[in-house]
Amino acid sequence: MSFVEIVRFAVRALLANRLRSLLTMLGIVIGIAAVILLTALGNGAAQYIQSQISGLGANSITVLARAPGGTAGAAAGASSRPLTSGDAAALADPQGAPDVGYVAPVVQASLTVAAGANSETDTVIGSTPEYFPGSNTVVASGRAYDDADVSAGRPVAVIGRTVADDLFGAGSVPLGQTVLVKGVPLQVIGVLQAKGQGGGFANPDSNVLAPITTVQSSFTGFGNLTQIVVGARSSATQDAAESEIYSILDRRHGITDPNDRDYQLISSAQLAQVLDQTLSTFSLLLAGIAAISLLVGGIGITNIMLVSVTERTREIGIRKALGAPPSAILGQFLVESTILSVLAGLIGVGLGVAGTFIPLPNGFRAIVVPAAVVVAVVVSIVIGVFFGGYPARRAARLRPIEALRRE
């Protein structure tokens, strides 16, 4: 009996039991598709967040005020000193801080911004021109405010993409137009490039950027700074710049215990590290879920294969009575389970890969992990062939009379 005949028998048997064949395949299909999709989601999330972090601005360090001891802000409030313009000036001193490239003091406030009949509440950020490179903010049309705007305190603003869309209509470029910020007219001199929701922070597209002097005189007053954005001269000097910031601010704020500072530094590198750890935990979780679904799929295959062979023991008996050698019986069942497993594997890969093209919000997309595809396919085919083959082997060895007696 030739191999071709065995394959014909196998195909005929599969077609004769379409529902059972489909159910068997379903386990493998779902298992493989789940593994591919889940790992692709984890991978996509990782790459997406990585790209968002790199958008925070290279080499920049943000100085934020905080209550000493980290917690218990109210109780320790007496010893807490806010960040001031003096702090910013000290950091900008090239002698005290030779590795610092630029310093951008920042004040911000949440204010009503209106144009015509439209109005909304946006974050208004006042700073110096260095803020743009420091926060990786790019002006798409028009220009950024410059040092002359800052020293003169001119009423100008650079608005985010969403602000322009909301106040002046989608896609508009309202250069030269006026926005009313808490009733104060500011002339729009630039529109920012869209950045998208960044790494779970406030949406930078909803910001209104203006010279620090303008914001202080009109809205916040000349008091404390919200934060100070400091840029290292290069990524190589970032660590040196950080320690210079620490020593200058420690001195100015009278800090003796490094664990009890009333300010803190956040660098993009630090942030990337924290997010990376979070992400690998997240990916591990997804891989775990994927492995479980593959296991459940495998158990499903095993079950149906066992039931299928048991149910067909009588048929095996008939075939043996008609002169089928053990090899033909075993061969037929092996070919059957191989066809099912491989076909289901292909469908599973197709579905899984197709699933990664489903659009997700925020431009985030699933990215297929090739190794996961290979592992999923190999594991399910091995499960299918082994658990299809093992009971078939037992059946092929049965005495024909025992096989025939089964009902």
Partner 1 sequence: MTVRDVGRRDVPVLDVRSMSKVYGAGDTAVHALREVDLLVRRGEYVAVIGQSGSGKSTLLNILGCLDAPSAGNYYLEGLDVADLDERQLSVLRNRQIGFVFQSFNLIPRTTAFANVELPLVYAGVSRRVRRERTLAALDVVGLAGRANHRPNELSGGQQQRVAVARALVTAPALLLADEPTGNLDSASTEDVLDLLDGLHAAGRTIVLITHDDEVAARADRVVTVTDGRLTETSGLRR
Structure tokens at 184: 């104060």
Closer Cβ to partner 1, 182 or 405, answer by number: 405
**Are residues 187 and 156 in contact, defined by beta-carbon separation less than 8 angstroms?**
yes
User: Judged by CB, which is closer to partner 1: 58, or 318?
Assistant: 318
In the complex, the smallest distance separating the C-beta of residue 314 from partner 1, rounded to whole angstroms, is 8
How many Å is the maximal CA-CA distance in the chain? 104
Distance of closest approach, residue 318 Cβ to partner 1, in angstroms? 5
**Cα atoms in the 13 Å half-sphere on the side-chain side of 133:** 13
| Contact assessment for residue 332 and residue 11, using Cβ atoms and an 8 Å cutoff | no
Q: For residue 104, what are the β-bridge partners?
A: 229
DSSP string for 23-40? HHHHHHHHHHHHHHHHHH
CB of 331 to partner 1, least distance (A): 12
Task: Kindly tell me which of 161 and 320 has the beta carbon lying closer to partner 1.
Answer: 320
Q: Is 258 helix (H, G, I), strand (E, B) or coil?
A: helix
Query: CB-wise, 10 or 369, nearer to partner 1?
Result: 10
Nearer to partner 1, 228 or 304 (CB): 304
Nearest distance from C-beta of residue 32 to partner 1, angstroms: 29
> Least Å distance between CB 333 and partner 1?
14
Q: In the bound complex, what is the minimum distance in angstroms from residue 23's beta carbon to partner 1?
A: 16
**CA distance linking residue 385 with residue 54, whole number of Å:** 47
Residue 117 or 322: which CB sits closer to partner 1?
322
C-alpha span between 90 and 105 (Å, rounded): 11
CB 395 within 8 A of CB 327: no
Which of 258, 323 has the CB closer to partner 1? 323
* Closest by CA position to 248, among listed 81, 128, 95: 95
Q: Which amino acid is at 401?
A: I
Q: Which is nearer to partner 1, 365 or 393 (CB)?
A: 393
How near is the Cβ of 12 to partner 1 at its closest, in Å?
A: 7
**Contact residues: partner 1, CB under 8 A:** 1-2, 5, 9, 12, 16-17, 314-315, 318-328, 399-401, 404
Torsion, Cα of 203, 206, 211, 217 (10° steps): -110
* Helix/strand/coil for 336: helix
Separation CA 168–CA 360 (nearest Å): 28
Q: Which residue, 42 or 331, is less far from partner 1 as judged by CB?
A: 331
DSSP per position, 352-399: HHHHTTS--GGG------HHHHHHHHHHHHHHHHHHHHHHHHHHHHS-
For the bound state, the minimum distance from the C-beta of residue 401 to partner 1, rounded and expressed in Å, comes to: 4
CB atoms near residue 282 (< 10 Å): 16
The distance of closest approach from Cβ of residue 295 to partner 1 in the complex, given in angstroms and rounded to an integer, is 32
Cα angle, residue 216 at apex, residues 65 and 100 outer, rounded to 5°: 50
Asked if 340 and 14 count as a contact pair (C-beta separation under 8 A), the reply is: yes
| Residue 213 to residue 155: CA distance in whole angstroms | 9
